[in-house]
Structure 1
Amino acid sequence: MAEIADKQEQDLRQDDDHGGSVVAESEDFEIDGEQSSGSELGDIDVSDIDASIQDLKAAVIRTSLGHPDLAEILHALGVAYATRYSWLDDENDLKAALRYGSASVAAVLRGHSDLPEWQETLAGLYIDYYQASDEIGDLEAALGYYKAAVKGTALGHSDLSHRLWGLSVSHIYRFHALGQVVDIEAALGYLKAVIAKTPLGHPELADYLRNVAVLFQDRYQKLNELDDVDSSLIYGKAAVACSILDEDAHQVCQLLLADAFTLHFQRLGLLEDLESALQLRREVVAHTSLDNPELPSRQEDLGISYSQRYQRLGELHDLDNSLQLTKEAVLGMSLGHSGLPSCLRNLSVSYSNRFQRFGNLEDLEIALKCSKAAVDGTPVGSSALPSLLQSLAAVYTNCYQKLGDLQDLESALQYDRAAVDKTPPGHPDLPSHQRSLAIAHTDRYQKLGQLEDLESSIMYGLAAAKNTPVDHIEFPVRQRSLAGSYIDRYERLEQINDLYSALDCCKLALQNTPQSHPDYPICQVNMAIAYTHLYRRLGEMHDLESAVKWNKEAVYNTAADHPDLPVRQQSLAQSYTDRYQRLGELSDLEAALALNESIVNNTSSISQELAGFQVNLASSYMDRYKKLDDVNDLKRALELNKAALNSTKSGDFQLAVHQQSMASIYMNYYLKFGEIKDLDAAIEHDRAAINTMPLDHAGLPNFQQGLTLSYLARYEKLDDIKDLFTALQLNQIALENTPSKSPNLSRLQRSLAHLHEKMYLKTQDAEHHAQALYYSKQSIKPSTASPDSLWNASIYMADLHMKDNLPEALDGGSKTDSSRYGRPTTWNKALPDDEFQKVINWLWKSIVKPIFGILEQNCVTAGRLWWCTSDILNYLPIHAAAPFDSPYIQSYTSSLSGLITARQKQTTRDPELFTAVGVTDIQNRPELELPMVPDELKKVVSIWKDQKVIQLLNEEATMSNVLKEIEVTSWLHLACHGQQNSNDALKSGLLLTDGKLELGEILNTNLPFAKFAFLSACETAMGDWDLINEAMHITGAFIAAGFQGAIGTLWSMGDAEGPKVAEVVYQKMFENLDKGPDVTLAAEGLHLAVQKLRKEKAPFHKCMPFVHFGV
Structure 2
Amino acid sequence: MVVSVGAPAEHVFASVKEDNPVGVRMTSAVSPSSPFGSGEMNAIQQAIQRAILTAISFQRRFNETGNADDIAQVVFHCENALSFGLDLPPFAYSFFGNAYLSRFTCLGEVQDLEHAISHHQKAVQSTPSGDAELPGRLNNLGSSYLRRFEATGDDLQDTEHALSYYQKGLKSTPSGHPDILSFLSNLGNLYSCRSVRTGDLQDFEQAISYHQKVVESAPSGHADVPLWFYHLGTSYSRRFQRFGNLQDIDHAISYHQKAVECAPSGRTELSSWFSSLGNSHLQRWERTRDIQDIDDAVSHLQKAIQSTPSGTYLAGPEFNNLGNAYAIRFNYTLDLEDIDHAISLQQKAVQSTPSGHAELPGLLDNLGTSYSRRFYCSESLQDIDHAISYHQKAIQSTPSGHTRLPAGFNHLGISYTHRFKCTRDLQDIDRAISYHQKAVESTPSDHADLPGRFSNLGSSYLDRFNSTNYLPDVQNSIASYRQAAEANGAPSIRLKAAKEAAMLSSDHDPSQCLTDFALAISLLSEVAGLEQTNNRRHANLRGYSDLVGSAVATALRFDSTNRALEWLEQGRCLVWNQLNQLRTPIDNLRMKNPSLANRFIEIARALESHGTRSALSLPSLHPTLVEAIRLQDDTLNHTIHATEYKQLLEEIRALPDFHDFLQPPKATDILSSLPNDGPLVIFNIHKTRCDALAVIAGIEEPLHIPLENFSLVQAEELQEILRFDLLKQREVEDQDRMPRRVRPNPSSMLFVLNELWRKVVQPILEALGYSLNPSDCGRIWWCPTGPLAFLPLHAAGIYGAAHNPGSCVSDFVVSSYTPTFRTLNDRSTASSTSSKCTSILLISQPNTPGLSSIPLTRKETHDLETLMKRTAIEALLLEDSKATVENVKAEMKSRSWVHFACHGVQDVHQPLSSGLCLHDGRLELLEIMKQKIPNLDLVFLSACQTSKGDLKLSEEVVHLAAGMLGAGCRGVVGTMWSISDLYGPKFAEEFYQYLLKEKGSEGLDSTRAAYALHYATRKVREILGDDDNAFLTWVPYVHFGY
TM-score bracket for the superposition, by shorter chain length: 0.5 to 0.7
Q: After superposition, what is the alpha-carbon deviation per residue over 1:67-115, rounded to whole angstroms, capped at 9, x for unaligned? A: xxxxxxxxxxxxxxxxxxxxxxxxxxxxxxxxxxxxxxxxxxxxxxxxx
Amino acid corresponding to residue 757 of structure 2 in structure 1? D
Residue of 45, 65, 80 corresponding to 1:313: 65
In the alignment, structure 1 segments of 5+ residues that lack a partner are 1-264, 279-288, 846-864, 890-939, 946-1011, 1016-1034, 1048-1064, 1107-1111
Amino acid corresponding to residue 799 of structure 1 in structure 2? S
Deviation at 1:756, TM superposition (A): 2.5
Partner of 1:460: 210
Amino acid corresponding to residue 311 of structure 1 in structure 2? N
Partner of 1:805: 689
1:244-283 correspondence runs (5 A): none
Note if contact 1:779-1:790 (Cα within 8 Å) is conserved in structure 2: no
Deviation at 1:611, TM superposition (A): 1.8
Change (3 A) 1:418 1:735: farther
Partner of 2:355: 605
Change (3 A) 1:566 1:721: same
Change (3 A) 1:542 1:886: farther
Amino acid corresponding to residue 550 of structure 2 in structure 1? D
Q: d(CA) in 1 for partners of 2:246 and 2:426?
A: 40
Q: d(CA) in 1 for partners of 2:524 and 2:763?
A: 21
- Bigger mean CA deviation after superposition, 717-726 or 825-834: 825-834
Note if contact 2:67-2:311 (Cα within 8 Å) is conserved in structure 1: no
Q: After superposition, what is the alpha-carbon deviation per residue over 1:655-692, rounded to whole angstroms, capped at 9, x for unaligned? A: 11010001111111222222322222111101111122
1:283-298 correspondence runs (5 A): none
Partner of 1:770: 514
Q: d(CA) in 2 for partners of 1:750 and 1:430?
A: 53
Partner of 1:554: 304
Note if contact 1:664-1:682 (Cα within 8 Å) is conserved in structure 2: yes
The answer on 1:623 being equivalent to 2:405 is no
Q: After superposition, what is the alpha-carbon deviation per residue over 1:12-42, rounded to whole angstroms, capped at 9, x for unaligned? A: xxxxxxxxxxxxxxxxxxxxxxxxxxxxxxx
Note if contact 2:527-2:540 (Cα within 8 Å) is conserved in structure 1: no
Change (3 A) 1:321 1:734: closer
Note if contact 1:759-1:768 (Cα within 8 Å) is conserved in structure 2: no
Q: d(CA) in 1 for partners of 2:1036 and 2:338?
A: 37
Q: d(CA) in 2 for partners of 1:642 and 1:770?
A: 41
Q: d(CA) in 2 for partners of 1:334 and 1:405?
A: 34
Q: d(CA) in 2 for partners of 1:685 and 1:1045?
A: 43
Partner of 1:834: 757
Residue of 517, 531, 555 corresponding to 2:281: 531
Q: d(CA) in 2 for partners of 1:395 and 1:438?
A: 15
Partner of 1:1090: 977
Change (3 A) 1:434 1:943: same
In the alignment, structure 2 segments of 5+ residues that lack a partner are 1-13, 23-40, 530-536, 554-685, 691-706, 729-746, 769-782, 796-814, 821-849, 856-902, 928-942, 949-973, 981-1012, 1022-1027, 1038-1042
Q: d(CA) in 2 for partners of 1:730 and 1:550?
A: 37
Q: d(CA) in 2 for partners of 1:416 and 1:457?
A: 14
Partner of 2:501: 752
Tell me which structure has the larger Cα radius of gyration: 1
Q: After superposition, what is the alpha-carbon deviation per residue over 1:402-456, rounded to whole angstroms, capped at 9, x for unaligned? A: 4443144443343334333433432222222222232233332222333332222
Q: d(CA) in 1 for partners of 2:461 and 2:236?
A: 35
Q: d(CA) in 1 for partners of 2:108 and 2:390?
A: 24
Amino acid corresponding to residue 558 of structure 1 in structure 2? T
Q: d(CA) in 1 for partners of 2:295 and 2:520?
A: 34
| TM-score, structure 1 normalization | 0.49
Q: After superposition, what is the alpha-carbon deviation per residue over 1:1033-1087, rounded to whole angstroms, capped at 9, x for unaligned? A: xx99xx8xxxx8999xxxxxxxxxxxxxxxxx9xx98754899999999864967
Q: d(CA) in 2 for partners of 1:373 and 1:777?
A: 64
1:546-585 correspondence runs (5 A): 546-585=296-335
Q: d(CA) in 2 for partners of 1:396 and 1:642?
A: 30
What number of residue pairs does the alignment pair up?
631
Residue of 765, 775, 779 corresponding to 2:523: 779
Give RMSD over aligned pairs.
Answer: 5.1
Amino acid corresponding to residue 396 of structure 1 in structure 2? Y
| TM-score, structure 2 normalization | 0.52
Partner of 1:655: 405
Deviation at 1:349, TM superposition (A): 1.3
Change (3 A) 1:796 1:482: same
Asked which structure has the greater RCO (Cα within 8 Å, sep 6+), the reply is 2
Deviation at 1:303, TM superposition (A): 4.6
The answer on 1:711 being equivalent to 2:611 is no
Change (3 A) 1:296 1:534: same
Partner of 2:99: 350
Note if contact 2:394-2:408 (Cα within 8 Å) is conserved in structure 1: yes
Amino acid corresponding to residue 747 of structure 1 in structure 2? K
Deviation at 1:499, TM superposition (A): 2.0
SS in 1 for 2:235: helix
Note if contact 1:746-1:784 (Cα within 8 Å) is conserved in structure 2: no
Residue of 180, 185, 198 corresponding to 1:435: 185
Residue of 253, 256, 265 corresponding to 1:503: 253
Q: d(CA) in 2 for partners of 1:562 and 1:321?
A: 14
Deviation at 1:556, TM superposition (A): 1.8
Deviation at 1:888, TM superposition (A): 7.9
Q: After superposition, what is the alpha-carbon deviation per residue over 1:266-321, rounded to whole angstroms, capped at 9, x for unaligned? A: 99x9xxxx9xx99xxxxxxxxxx967989977975775465244223224565366
Deviation at 1:751, TM superposition (A): 3.2
Q: d(CA) in 2 for partners of 1:882 and 1:575?
A: 51
Note if contact 1:617-1:640 (Cα within 8 Å) is conserved in structure 2: yes
Amino acid corresponding to residue 805 of structure 1 in structure 2? R
SS in 2 for 1:346: helix
- Bigger mean CA deviation after superposition, 408-417 or 634-643: 408-417
Q: After superposition, what is the alpha-carbon deviation per residue over 1:468-503, rounded to whole angstroms, capped at 9, x for unaligned? A: 323222221122111111101112122222223222
Note if contact 1:386-1:420 (Cα within 8 Å) is conserved in structure 2: yes
Change (3 A) 1:625 1:307: same
Amino acid corresponding to residue 777 of structure 1 in structure 2? I
Partner of 2:5: none
SS in 1 for 2:708: helix
Change (3 A) 1:1046 1:663: same
Deviation at 1:346, TM superposition (A): 0.6
The answer on 1:795 being equivalent to 2:546 is yes
Partner of 1:60: none
Amino acid corresponding to residue 306 of structure 2 in structure 1? Y
Change (3 A) 1:752 1:1103: farther
The answer on 1:395 being equivalent to 2:144 is yes
Note if contact 2:388-2:412 (Cα within 8 Å) is conserved in structure 1: yes
Percent identity, please. Answer: 20
Q: d(CA) in 1 for partners of 2:921 and 2:550?
A: 47
SS in 2 for 1:810: coil
Partner of 2:888: none
Partner of 2:36: none
Q: d(CA) in 1 for partners of 2:126 and 2:249?
A: 45
Change (3 A) 1:570 1:321: closer
Residue of 99, 118, 121 corresponding to 1:369: 118
Note if contact 1:446-1:653 (Cα within 8 Å) is conserved in structure 2: yes
Change (3 A) 1:298 1:416: farther
Q: d(CA) in 1 for partners of 2:479 and 2:925?
A: 52
Residue of 389, 399, 405 corresponding to 2:154: 405
Q: d(CA) in 2 for partners of 1:545 and 1:841?
A: 51
1:119-518 correspondence runs (5 A): 303-304=55-56, 306-315=58-67, 318-319=70-71, 322-323=74-75, 335=87, 340-406=89-155, 407-518=157-268
Q: d(CA) in 2 for partners of 1:770 and 1:322?
A: 70
Q: d(CA) in 1 for partners of 2:422 and 2:925?
A: 47
Q: d(CA) in 2 for partners of 1:414 and 1:840?
A: 81
- Bigger mean CA deviation after superposition, 480-489 or 495-504: 495-504
